[in-house]
Amino acid sequence: MFLELQDDNIFKRIFFDLLKYQLTRGSLQLEGMSADCDTVEQSMNVYNQLCAINYIFNNDVDYSPIGFINLICEVANLVSGGEVSDFRTTRAEVNGSNIERSKASMIRNDLYYLIEDYNYSISQAKNDKERFEEEAKFHIRFLHIHPFEDANGRTARILLTYNLSKNNLAPCIITMDRKREYCDYIENTDIKSLARLFEELSKEELSTMIAIYNDLDSKRLIPGNIMSDEQEDRLKNKIRFKK
C-alpha cells in the first residue's frame, strides 16, 4: 500500500488496525466527542466509526458518480449509527462558519459533479503533490456541500483516508492540535495549505510505519520475514481461531 510496504503481510494488517483506531479517536475528538469508551454512548461512537472504516476498505468501491454517492451515503449511515439515512432536507447551519452550503435540492447534483471532477483530476495528477491537492480540493468541496444533517466531517475524513490509501499514499490523522488550521483552511477554501497539511501528516505516518517496521524486523519479530509460507499460514490460523 505504501511504497516498499505494498505487499500484504501480518505487520501491515496489524499496523493498519492501529491506524483505524487513531483515525477514529482523532476524528471523534475533532467533533467534540470522546473516544475513551467510558460510557455506552462513547463506545457506540467508536464502534460506528470503525464499522464505517471497515466497510469502505472491505468493499470494492465503484468510483462512478452514482456508485460513489451510494457509498458515501452508506458510510455516513454507519458513522452516525443509522441516524443519517439520506441527504439533508433543510438549510445547513454550521456554527462559526460563513460558508454558504449547497441547497438541499442541489446536494445530489453537486456531489455528482464533485466526484466526476475528482475522478478526472486525480487521473491526471503527475506527482504526489498534485494528488494531495486533489484530495484537499475534494475534501473542501465535500464539506461545503454538507450533504447530511450530521456526520459530514467524520465521513469526509474516512473518504480522505481511503482515497489516499487508494493512491498509495499513507493516510493522515488530523489531531486536536491541528484542528484550528484544518478548519481555517476549509473555511477559507485554502486548497494549497490544506494539501500541505495532508502531505505533512501523511509523511509523518509513513515515517512512523517504516520506523516501527525496521525496528521489529531487526529484532526478527515480523513472522512473514522469518518463516516459510507454511509456517506463516499456521500462525495466521492460530491467531484467527484463538479465543
Q: How far is 138 from 1, CA to CA, in rounded Å?
A: 21
Q: How far is 120 from 48, CA to CA, in rounded Å?
A: 31
Task: Give the mean model confidence (pLDDT) for residues 198-220.
Answer: 86
Band of residue 212 on the pLDDT scale cut at 50, 70, 90: confident
Residue 148 one-letter amino acid:
F
Q: How far is 48 from 237, CA to CA, in rounded Å?
A: 28
Residue where the block lists cell 505487499: 7
Q: Provide the pLDDT for residue 26.
A: 94
Q: By residue range, what is the domain housing residue 184?
A: 3-89+97-241
Q: Provide the pLDDT for residue 226.
A: 52
Burial state string for 24-48 with b = 16 or more CB within 10 A and e = fewer than 16: bbbbbebeeeebeeeeeeeeebbeb
Distances (CA, A) of 84 to 54, 78, 108, 131: 18, 8, 15, 30
Task: Give the mean model confidence (pLDDT) for residues 147-155.
Answer: 96
Q: Model-level pTM?
A: 0.86
User: Which has the closest alpha carbon to 111: 57, 148, 158, 84?
Assistant: 148
Grid cell of 149 as nine digits: 444533517
Q: Provide the pLDDT for residue 238.
A: 45
Q: Provide the pLDDT for residue 155.
A: 97
User: Which has the closest alpha carbon to 157: 53, 18, 51?
Assistant: 53
Q: Is the pLDDT at 108 greater than 70, yes or no?
A: yes
Condensed to tens digits (0 to 9), the pLDDT of residues 2-26 reads 544 455 567 777 788 888 999 999 9
Q: Is the pLDDT at 239 greater than 80, yes or no?
A: no
Cβ proximity of 153 and 143 under 8 Å = yes
Band of residue 58 on the pLDDT scale cut at 50, 70, 90: confident
Number of compact structural domains in the chain: 1
Percent helix, strand, coil in the chain, to 5, is: 70, 0, 30
Q: How far is 182 from 157, CA to CA, in rounded Å?
A: 12
Say which CATH number the domain at 157 has: 1.10.3290.10
Condensed to tens digits (0 to 9), the pLDDT of residues 166-198 reads 888 988 999 999 999 999 999 999 999 999 999
Q: Provide the pLDDT for residue 242.
A: 41
Q: Is the pLDDT at 200 greater than 60, yes or no?
A: yes
